[in-house]
Amino acid sequence: MAKLRVALIGNGGICRGCHVSHYYEDERAEVVAFCDIIEERAIALRDKYFPNAAVYTDYKELLKDESIDAVDICTPNYLHSIIAVDAFKAGKHVLCEKPDAVNVQEVLKMKNAADEAGKVLMVIRNNRFATASKYAKKFVEDGKMGDIYCGRCGWQRRRGIPGKGGWFTTKAQSGGGPLIDLGVHMIDLAVWLMGNPTPVAVSANTYTKFADNDTSDSVNSKFGDANAQGTFDVEDLAMGMIRFDNGAVLQIEFSWASNIKEENRFVELRGTKAGLSWKDNGVEIFTEEDGQLLDIAPRGKMETDGHKRNIENFIDVLTEGAEPVFKPSQGVDMIKILCAIYESAETGREVIL
């Protein structure tokens, strides 16, 4: 079988740390092109992993190469949908970093372009692939949770603003702050475990309280390119509630900076038969048996390399016809939720989807 020929567009931190090495390790795929507006970054990755690959600074020139089967997009958020649409028009499959897009109009363009081209669109949802997540998903699908009627999820940082003054904190390029950066991960995991109910309403608030604070206690603050004279026009904390068509509700909280004890990632779901707590890639179940309350905590190895498994699923889909774990319609729902949260925060009213 011929190798899947992949191009990596955007060769910054997320590409270097979470994408390129996994193609290097998978014999079914080969990176044949790198593209970045900073040519030296593309050359450095090319030389380290795939020395025979081409290097581009303009992704549109890269897309003219008909031998490329798929592109993996790791650019700033506002470019995700723009590049994806162009890639579909050029006949390529697309794997894209989260978030899918920065607004509903753009995510719909992305999905429609994939449908029209008959090509695969997948967006990174790495928490779905963690061992703890797969255990929790099977527990739910086996009916052991009963009716999941409420939950909460969050990713709280004490001080972890990424690339302050750069594209991360510039709304025109990022689409928002920790909600669109971190919220995608945990809202997706919660909604996926709940069985992907349809969101129908959102109520939320956002705050910006740490734009002038340079303290950091998180490695994540090293992400992106900081700019001391740059822009900070996004939130540093978002809180709210999502209602779904089945009557369930989900509370949310995401912060880059907040006066809490320590960084925390979590999903808690409550059902009529059991409750579930996912925290930092571990899982616990709270239920009862024979009139006794029972806590279940799996003790096996909990694998956490979600990017690797996500990329493997993308390759599985394109080379073996496997079922994609991610569906583009789920991405549309996600961006509808995120945009409604921002709208609710701006208007002070619940937003009906």
Cβ distance 75 to 307 under 8 Å?
no
Separation between Cα atoms, residue 286 and residue 270, nearest integer Å: 9
Residue 227 and residue 268 in one domain: yes
Q: Is the pLDDT of residue 230 over 80?
A: yes
Residue 55 inside a domain? The answer is yes
Separation between Cα atoms, residue 155 and residue 256, nearest integer Å: 9
Residue 177 inside a domain? The answer is yes
Residue 14 and residue 92 in one domain: yes
Residue 250 and residue 222 in one domain: yes
Residue 9 and residue 22 in one domain: yes
Residue 63 and residue 98 in one domain: yes
| Average pLDDT value for residue range 225-238 | 94
Sign, CA dihedral 189-190-195-198, equals negative
pLDDT at 88: 98
Residue 342 inside a domain? The answer is no
Separation between Cα atoms, residue 353 and residue 339, nearest integer Å: 10
* Whole-structure pTM value: 0.94
Number of structural domains (the chain) is: 2
Residue 68, phi then psi, degrees to nearest 5: -75, 125
Integer angstrom CA distances of residue 98 from 126, 186, 271, 332: 10, 12, 29, 12
Strand order in the sheet with 148-156: 292-296, 282-289, 275-279, 264-271, 148-156, 249-255, 237-244, 199-207, 351-352
Overall size of the chain counted in residues: 353
| Average pLDDT value for residue range 153-176 | 95
pLDDT at 218: 85
Residue 146 and residue 73 in one domain: no
The pLDDT tens digits of the residues spanning 100-136 come to 999 999 999 999 999 999 999 999 999 999 999 999 9
Separation between Cα atoms, residue 70 and residue 317, nearest integer Å: 12
Strand order in the sheet with 4-9: 54-56, 29-35, 4-9, 70-73, 93-96, 121-123
Mean pLDDT of the chain: 96
The pLDDT tens digits of the residues spanning 134-163 come to 999 999 999 999 999 999 999 999 999 999
| Average pLDDT value for residue range 172-179 | 96
| Residues sharing a CB contact under 8 Å with residue 267, sequence separation 6 or more, in sequence order | 151, 152, 153, 186, 189, 190, 193, 276, 277, 278, 279
Residue 95 and residue 191 in one domain: no
pLDDT at 66: 97
Q: How many helices (H) and strands (E) does the chain have?
A: 12, 15
pLDDT at 201: 98
Buried residues in 150-175 as b, exposed as e (16+ CB within 10 A): bbbbbbbbbbbbbbbbbbbbbbebbb
Residue 331 inside a domain? The answer is no
The pLDDT tens digits of the residues spanning 185-227 come to 999 999 999 999 999 999 999 999 999 999 999 888 888 888 9
Residue 117 and residue 180 in one domain: no
Residue 151 and residue 287 in one domain: yes
Residue 332 inside a domain? The answer is no
Residue 18 and residue 89 in one domain: yes
The pLDDT tens digits of the residues spanning 12-28 come to 999 999 999 999 999 99
CATH of the domain at 185: 3.30.360.10
Residue 89 inside a domain? The answer is yes
pLDDT at 1: 56
Q: Hey, how many other C-beta atoms are within 10 angstroms of the C-beta on 234?
A: 26
| Three-class SS state of 187 | helix
Q: Is the pLDDT of residue 177 over 70?
A: yes
CATH of the domain at 107: 3.40.50.720
Distance in Å from the first CA to the final CA of the chain: 45
pLDDT at 213: 92
User: DSSP string spanning 98-123?
Assistant: SSS-SSHHHHHHHHHHHHHHT--EEE
Residue 343 inside a domain? The answer is no
Q: Which of 33-47, 151-165, 296-310, 329-343 has the lowest mean pLDDT?
A: 296-310
* Better pLDDT: 2 or 252: 252
The pLDDT tens digits of the residues spanning 281-313 come to 899 999 999 999 999 998 866 777 889 999 999
Residue 345 inside a domain? The answer is no
pLDDT at 29: 97
Residue numbers of the domain that contains 218: 128-304
Residue 141 and residue 283 in one domain: yes
pLDDT at 280: 83
